[in-house]
Amino acid sequence: MGKYNFDAIIDRHHTSCEKWDFLKDKFGRDDLLAMWVADMDFTAPPEVIEVLKERVDHGIFGYTGRTDSYFDSIVQWVDKRHGWKIEANWIRHAPGVVPALSMSVLAFTQPGDGILVQPPVYPPFYSAVNGRGRRVVENPLVFRDGRFEMDFDDLEKKIDSSVKMLFLCNPHNPVGRVWTEEELKRLGEICGRHDLIIVSDEIHSDIVFKGFRHVPIASLSPELAARTITCIAPSKTFNIAGLSTSAIIIPNKRIRDNYTTVLDFLHIDSGNIFGTFALEAAYSKGEPWLEALIEYLEGNVNFIEDYLKENIPSIKLVRPEATYVPFLDCRGLGLSNGALFDLLINKARVAMNNGAWFGKGGEGFMRINIATPRALIKEGLDRIARALACIEK
Ligand SMILES: Cc1ncc(COP(=O)(O)O)c(C=O)c1O
């Protein structure tokens, strides 16, 4: 075991934790092994916990501002991890990346406008658009030779003068792609030609596996920077999603001012005292923990791939280039979407996200959360293998 013990099984029941304590609300039963919503069953980096303890010990939790060192930790992180040089005054706040998507819709589109999404994709990409009189315009990804790709011809066809914005998911949840520089340039060229604002959700950009490199689309050219709102957060990276703190990077002053107007109108700029301190500690001191985490997660990816090959060859892992929530391709089982869900939930007793919840192209896939001790991954896969063996009898 190294410095961090990701094999430790920590009971999260009775902590009001969505993943383990709210299974019944989501899946209709609570006797399940939780492998769904995107948070991890690991403790946050010790440096983050230490800072939070210090704040708790102080005992006063009043309104809290953001210091120069807070902004500097973000500037340094984005440069060090992704090679993008940003300025502190480009950074705005959001209580989450999803609220930033919603605020962008409110700030930059009108009722009737279209917003492009690339399904199968994280469901709030739909809910941030629907219900506000705007329209989701789908540009589905295509599954080719075991990986998902963008369909640029379809994208061109889908854009008319009412389409104003693209929600980019990079790296992409749930297909696990880290979009390449070439793909992003081609996408950016199309967005430029049609004068679209790009809202780039890069919340998963820190968890990227060996051989891949995350490229922030806004880093590719001044033109792309000028039309892009980049959303990052320490929440997925360091398992602090409950602290509701994200950073929104907007180089273009006009776009930044409009975003700020909505933020001020909603009066949600003040943020969360613990999130503010945790973000700075995570970005300035959490890198060694993150490196160890990525290695452990990659070990889980290899474990799942080998297990499936050996024991359940009709299910295949869509090998993720990034993220800890990859797709399992279950189409080889030949089950309807309803029967597949029933098999996993009611027979195997494993809670995973149904691929169909992610929109077009997600049917026949299930999303597994691999940010959990390897022993629990094995338990989940054993349960599926046993449930399948019962059906085949
Ligand atoms: C792509 C993506 N964006 C946003 C979020 C959630 O963001 P937040 O909790 O900061 O609103 C998630 C969580 O799973 C995600 O996968």
pLDDT digits (tens, 9 = 90+) for 219-252: 999 999 999 999 999 999 999 999 999 999 999 9
Q: What is the pLDDT of residue 223?
A: 98
Q: Please choose from 126, 179, 203 the residue to mutate so as to test ligand 1's pocket, defined by most ligand atoms within 8 A of CB.
A: 203
Q: Examine the pLDDT at 122 and tell me if it is beyond 70.
A: yes
Of ligand 1's atoms, which has the minimum distance to the CA of residue 246? 10
User: What's the CA gap between 369 and 325, in Å, rounded?
Assistant: 5
Amino acid 1: pLDDT: 62
18-45+286-387 maps to which CATH number?
3.90.1150.10
* Confidence grade of residue 9 (pLDDT, cut at 50, 70, 90): very high
Could you tell me the distance, in angstroms and rounded to a whole number, from the CA of residue 64 to the centre of ligand 1?
Answer: 24
Asked if pLDDT for residue 119 goes beyond 90, the answer is yes
Give the pLDDT confidence score for residue 2 in this predicted structure.
77
pLDDT digits (tens, 9 = 90+) for 300-322: 999 999 999 999 999 999 999 99
Which of 76-85, 197-206, 334-343 is least confident? 334-343
Cα 218 to middle of ligand 1, angstroms: 19
Burial class (CB in 10 A: 0-12, 13-18, 19+), 321: buried
Which pLDDT value is given to residue 349?
Answer: 98
Backbone angles phi, psi at 296, to 5 degrees: -65, -45
Third-level CATH fold of 61-285: Aspartate Aminotransferase; domain 2 (3.40.640)
Give the count of beta carbons closer than 10 Å to the beta carbon of residue 57. Answer: 7
Confidence of residue 345 (pLDDT cuts 50, 70, 90): very high
* pLDDT tens-digit readout, 276-291: 999 999 999 999 999 9
Q: Supply 370's token pair.
A: 């691999």
pLDDT at 158: 97
Pocket of ligand 1 (CB under 6 A): 38, 96-98, 122, 169, 173, 201, 203, 233, 235, 241, 246
For residue 391, what pLDDT band results from cuts at 50, 70 and 90?
Answer: confident
Closest Cα to atom 14 of ligand 1: 38
Q: Are 277 and 73 in contact (CB under 8 A)?
A: no
Question: CA of 281: how far to CAs of 54, 60, 69, 247, in Å?
Answer: 12, 19, 10, 14
Q: Residue 13 Cα, ligand 1 centroid: separation in angstroms?
A: 22
Q: Which amino acid would we find at residue 349?
A: R
What residue has token string 């027979």? 347
**How far apart are alpha carbons 173 and 110 in whole angstroms?**
27
CA distances, 261 to each of 63, 255, 257 (Å): 20, 10, 6
Residue 248: strand pairing partners? 92, 231
Q: What residue owns the CA closest to ligand 1's atom 10? A: 96
Ligand 1 atom nearest 95 alpha carbon: 10
- Mapped onto helix, strand or coil, the DSSP state of residue 254 is helix
* Amino acid occupying residue 350: V
pLDDT at 15 over 70: yes
Would you call 13 helix, strand, or coil by DSSP?
Answer: coil
Q: Which atom of ligand 1 is nearest to the CA of 100?
A: 11
Atom of ligand 1 nearest to the CA of 99: 11
Ligand 1 centre and the CA of 98: distance in Å?
6
Q: Which two tokens stand for residue 292?
A: 């160890």
For 154-195, the pLDDT digits (tens) are: 999 999 999 999 999 999 999 999 999 999 999 999 999 999
Compute, in angstroms, the gap from residue 136 CA to the centroid of ligand 1: 18
CB neighbour burial string for 29-44, b if at least 16 within 10 angstroms, e if fewer: eeebbbbbbbbbbbeb
Q: How many other β-carbons are positioned within 10 Å of the β-carbon of residue 81?
A: 19
Distance 199 CA to ligand 1 centre (A): 13
Neighbours of 155 (CB within 10 A): 21
Interval between CA 189 and ligand 1 midpoint (Å) = 26
Those residues with Cβ within 8 angstroms of residue 275's Cβ, 6 or more apart along the chain or in another chain: 240, 243, 244, 245
Token pair, residue 321, equals 């280039």
Confidence tier at 38 by pLDDT (50, 70, 90) = very high
Taking CA atoms only, the protein residue closest to ligand 1 atom 13 is 38
Q: What would the 3-class secondary structure string for 104-172 be?
A: HHHHHCCCCCEEEECCCCCCHHHHCCCCCCCEEEECCCEEECCEEECCHHHHHHHCCCCEEEEEEECCC
Domain ranges of the chain: 18-45+286-387, 61-285
Q: Is the pLDDT of residue 131 over 90?
A: no
Atom of ligand 1 nearest to the CA of 98: 11
Given ligand 1 and candidates 98, 127, 353, which is best to mutate, with the most ligand atoms within 8 Å of its CB? 98
Nearest CA among 262, 198, 186, 201 for reference residue 226: 198
- In this structure, the residue with its CA closest to atom 7 of ligand 1 is 97
With cut-offs at 50, 70 and 90, classify the pLDDT of residue 393: low
Residue 250: exposure state from Cβ atoms within 10 A (0-12, 13-18, ≥19): buried
